[in-house]
Structure 1
């Protein structure tokens, strides 16, 4: 699994960006670039077969192939192993995930492999509400999810130790500039919440 930090400045914080069903596409690389002003090393591992990145118009195929392998649980396990492998080199290991990457991040947050996590519109978190993160976790939802009631899930998470939720009046993908549901204003607000929650140093 090839992945390299954007720089090698000897920072003591690692941030792993967990991708969506499409793989490490322009959006994920853009998130990594957005992290460049912070004093951290950024990793963008792919949990798809080597070299595979799906175009947005291939969403049905991307979803079908992802659910076949690795699947959310498989990606969560792989992500936990990946972040745990960074522990010898970094004082803090953080994770930011989007969609299936967010749900995988949610799963990995229970293993002790991360010191902080942000989950952007991980709709499948609804299937894993028994998870208790061992590190602070910010869950950012899009309010307009067609497959489930976001307020009901957010309410289930309310009061959970170490878990903070935000609900934005947007649709799934609102932080992705390439998505038809992109909302620049809410994306900025969510990103500010994420960086502040993780305490990323500049």
Structure 2
């Protein structure tokens, strides 16, 4: 597998993105949106995980304006900084970066065919917003806290959207899960709830990691990406 940091430009400046290529060197594209902790070791490993599954993965540095290439851990001090960086982001900046990252991925010679987006926590919400503001072909949103504040965007979304949610996640209570389900009941995709999982259940670097839920969610994500991004042979 080949990995490297590349540079992407848009009207606001230039930022980095972590690129992971599959063993064959080419494949469908995936944009991976980070948690609030930056494109840290865990996110890079997730990019590599999906690259090994056959995808060209690009993980943009979302916080490049305030703290380029920041890597945060999961203790209280780092979490406080992460929240400050998240608060500094605007929806317009998110839309701009999503569009330029998508254009950069589609311009890569290794990227063949369709492109999807996925993300975790803050990145799960960004993946959802990207589905509403671009022409990506699929999105998978892991425990995107705050998504309920953007459900008015649902009518704009034409691609399949999959939600991966924890049944014990206090940031996304069941009343919010029900709101999401109602907003997407007539759209392609699925809302999966893992009863024993909390927030951050996919991150093996966190105490919240729940292996059975993370494994099943990964399998379901791959199934949707295979269905929507991989050309039939």
Q: Same fold by TM-score, threshold 0.5 exceeded?
A: yes
**Residue 46 (structure 1) aligns with:** 61
Q: Among residues 207, 219, 233, which one is paired with 1:180 in the alignment?
A: 207
Counterparts in 2 of 1:30 and 1:66: CA distance versus 1, 3 Å: same
Could you tell me how far 1:29 is from its partner in structure 2? 1.2
What is the correspondence of 1:125-140 to structure 2 with a 5 Å cutoff? 125-132=147-154, 133-140=157-164
Deviations 1:132-176 (A, max 9, x none): 222111111112232453343343234141231111121100000
Correspondence 1:82 to 2:96: no
Could you tell me how far 1:186 is from its partner in structure 2? 0.7
Which runs of 5 or more residues in structure 2 are unaligned? 1-14
Counterparts in 2 of 1:15 and 1:166: CA distance versus 1, 3 Å: same
Asked if the contact 1:83/1:113 (under 8 Å) is kept, the reply is no
TM-score normalised over the length of structure 1: 0.88
Aligned partners of 1:158, 1:93: CA distance in 2, in Å? 21
Question: Bigger CA drift: 94-103 or 148-157?
Answer: 148-157
Aligned partners of 2:133, 2:94: CA distance in 1, in Å? 13
**Residue 5 (structure 2) aligns with:** none
Counterparts in 2 of 1:181 and 1:72: CA distance versus 1, 3 Å: farther
* Structure whose residues are more often strand by fraction: 2
Q: Find runs of 4+ consecutive structure 1 residues off by over 6 angstroms.
A: none
Aligned partners of 2:170, 2:101: CA distance in 1, in Å? 32
Q: Provide the alpha-carbon RMSD of the alignment.
A: 2.1
Q: Among residues 40, 44, 47, which one is paired with 1:25 in the alignment?
A: 40
Structure ID, larger Rg: 2
Aligned partners of 2:162, 2:185: CA distance in 1, in Å? 13
